Amino acid sequence: MVVAYALAGRCDIDFETEPIGQGSDGKDVFLRDIWPSRAEVQEVTNTTIKPEMFKENYDTILNGSEMWQALEAPKGKLYTWDEDSTYIHNPPFFKSVQASLTPVESVSDAHVLLNLGDSITTDHISPAGKIANNSPAAAYLKARGVGPKDYNTYGARRGNDEIMARGTFANVRLINKLVDKVGPETVHIPSGEKMAIFDAAARYQEEGKATIILAGQEYGSGSSRDWAAKGPFLQGVKAVIAQSYERIHRSNLVGMGILPMQFKAGEGADSLGLDGTETFNIDLQGGALEVGQDITVTTNTGKTFTVTCRLDTDPEIDYLKNGGILNYVLRRLNSE
């Protein structure tokens, strides 16, 4: 068909009634005149495709190409991580996991990493696109001897958690109420310094301080992306309080051990007078969590309000108590 359209020179042709060209005798030639019959196709197939071709190919298919065979690979059952690699890095998801469950602790004196509005999508959250020259990810690569022409994209480097953590919330169209301009910046509340979101998150972690996110309607809308939950986890986010959630992103947050909570109907950060400079205490009642229960949140400014715990199923409660679904599965495997 591609050849037929090319011969006709246009794509709005009606092959049933219009010729695709003229023959050497000047007569019209239609598609039906050059279309091979089933017998002609079968004749070509029988004379060119032989069983031996498939046998020869599949007998050696696991050997790979000569280039593949020439690669040097370490032996052993465990992957040998290369700390110098900027593409593949050993992620810290199991770094602190223990065989037994640890008690669920309430969130105390948490700072707001981001104060967001409505319709924050996974495009705003998840690392995507080209790595900008002035981004924390670029600074990471530059420190390891990688030049700007080789920065590549977040998608190409999604196997390196250090890159992806730095690319979380790096969207240039992100609107964060803590700062006065659009972009991937926030304020480190204790110092009042404006900085890249990752830099603020890292500073909070170094100081041993928990962080949360305030958001409006439809938090996490758009296509589902695993790094939209992994990234905030790596940045140290403990909880999100939003007016509503996209359902898959909400469950992804739980899967990474981040507690999703929802403002009561008609309430939000703005209506409650929260500007994001407060510190928050979230009473998790010693881990006695139930599906859809009410949770009390207090701030250092004296405000107290009630939110709905968006753990929507009993398995999700188990995931959160385990610190996420990865730890939950690992402990299940360890107990078998």
Helix 247-255 to helix 325-335 angle, to the nearest 10 degrees?
50
Query: pLDDT tens digits for 168-214?
Result: 999 999 999 999 999 999 999 999 999 999 999 999 999 999 999 99
Does 205 map to a domain?
yes
Same domain, yes or no, for 112 and 42?
Answer: no
Whether residue 268 sits in one domain with residue 213: yes
Judgement on whether residues 57 and 181 belong to the same structural domain of the protein:
no
45 and 114 co-located in one domain: no
Q: What pLDDT does residue 64 have?
A: 85
Same domain, 310 and 250: yes
Is 100 exposed, middle or buried, given 0-12, 13-18 or 19+ CB atoms closer than 10 A? exposed
| pLDDT tens per residue, range 82-103 | 999 999 999 999 888 888 888 8
- Does a structural domain hold residue 149? no
How many CA atoms lie less than 13 Å away from 290 in the CB half-sphere? 4
Calpha distance 233→224 (Å, rounded): 16
202 and 310 share one domain? yes
Domain membership of residue 92 (yes or no) is no
Domain that holds residue 34: 2-62
Residues 257-268: tens digit of each pLDDT: 999 999 999 999
Phi-psi group of 79: left, alpha or beta (phi > 0 → left; psi -120 to 50 → alpha; rest → beta): beta
- Could you give the dihedral angle defined by the CA atoms of residues 243, 249, 255 and 259, in that order, rounded to the nearest 10 degrees? -10
- Closest residue by Cα to residue 235 from 191, 204, 214, 257: 204
Quick check: is 324 in a domain? yes
Residues 282, 105: contact at Cβ < 8 Å? no
Does residue 323 form part of some domain?
yes
User: What is residue 316's predicted lDDT score, i.e. its pLDDT?
Assistant: 97
**Domain final residue, candidates 29, 62, 95:** 62
Q: Give this prediction's pTM.
A: 0.80
Q: Is residue 73 part of a domain?
A: no
Question: Across-strand partners of 229?
Answer: none
302 and 215 within one domain: yes
The answer on 188 and 286 residing in a single domain is: yes
Same domain, 226 and 312: yes
Task: Determine the Cα–Cα distance for residues 222 and 180; give it in Å rounded to an integer.
Answer: 25
Q: d(Cα 323, Cα 261) in Å, to the nearest integer?
A: 16
